[in-house]
Homo-oligomer: A and B are copies of this chain.
Amino acid sequence: MNKNGILVVVSGFSGAGKGTLVRKLLEKYDNYSLSVSMTTRNKREGEEDGVSYFFVDHKKFEQTIIEDGLLEYASYCGNYYGTPKDYVKKQLAQGKDVILEIEVQGALQIKKKYPTTLLLFVTPPSGEELITRLRTRNTETEEDIMRRISRAAEEVDSISKYDYLVINDNIDECVDELHNIIASAHNAPIRQQDLIDRLKNELDILSKGE
């Protein structure tokens, strides 16, 4: 019997190291599959269709929205970005745990629609460490960094809606911690309804039939 996979949403403050964590998780363990987003923006050099993104035109994207073919979607700077439902469903049916890196609002929307989704939130050990990491990577202006800190200060209020909060202090330890959490989550009753139904049925028969 092939167990269904779990849809795992990873969110976290900008600068928490989500991207690296997800990449290492996929490298180290073979039960994961990364959700590939669909977008209408142009393909950049080095990007591959079906790997970086599924690249489609506006017509195809809007058709997919109408057909309810996306788990969630948003529009930025005139382009659409979304999560194709088909790809995720196929991977889940094959027993893969599908990782989806997405921000807080999208995560909560998915959880509402699909309550068995597992929501993980990643944070650095402290606010100081977060600002240090943002400054060290040297890719944003100080103004950008402060905007990200303000956003983090808002996002912190949504952490209690997540299933787990993980501190990314040591990257390798954190990868193993995420892996254990996802493995454990398979044991939540909400994801074991088939087993519970079967046990109920068997015990009913045994208690009446003998």
Contact A207 B153 (CB under 8 A): yes
Cβ distance A164 to chain B, nearest Cβ, rounded Å:
4
Interface segment out of the listed A23-31, A64-72, A177-185: A177-185
Contact A196 B156 (CB under 8 A): yes
Q: Which residues of B contact A45 (CB under 8 A)?
A: none
Other-chain contact of A160, B121, B150, B181, B189 (Cβ < 8 Å): B189
For residue A188, CB closer than 8 A to chain B, the reply is yes
A159-B189 contact, Cβ under 8 Å, with A164-B184, A184-B184, A196-B165: yes
Interface segment out of the listed A48-56, A101-109, A197-205: A197-205
| Chain A positions 122 through 134: 1 when the CB is less than 8 Å from some CB of chain B, otherwise 0 | 0100111011000
For residue A2, CB closer than 8 A to chain B, the reply is no
Main secondary structure of the interface of A (DSSP, over half): helix
CA distance A164 to B130 in the complex (A): 33
Count this chain's copies in the assembly. Answer: 2
Q: Which residues of B contact A200 (CB under 8 A)?
A: 153, 156-157
CA distance A121 to B130 in the complex (A): 39
Contact B160 A190 (CB under 8 A): yes
For residue A22, CB closer than 8 A to chain B, the reply is no
For residue A163, CB closer than 8 A to chain B, the reply is yes
A203-B164 contact, Cβ under 8 Å, with A156-B196, A159-B189, A196-B156: no
CA distance A200 to B165 in the complex (A): 14
Beta-carbon nearest neighbor of A188 in chain B? B164
| Chain A positions 158 through 184: 1 when the CB is less than 8 Å from some CB of chain B, otherwise 0 | 011111111100000000010011011
Cβ distance A207 to chain B, nearest Cβ, rounded Å:
4
6 example contacts (A-B, Cβ-Cβ < 8 A) are as follows A126-B199, A153-B200, A153-B206, A159-B189, A160-B196, A181-B187
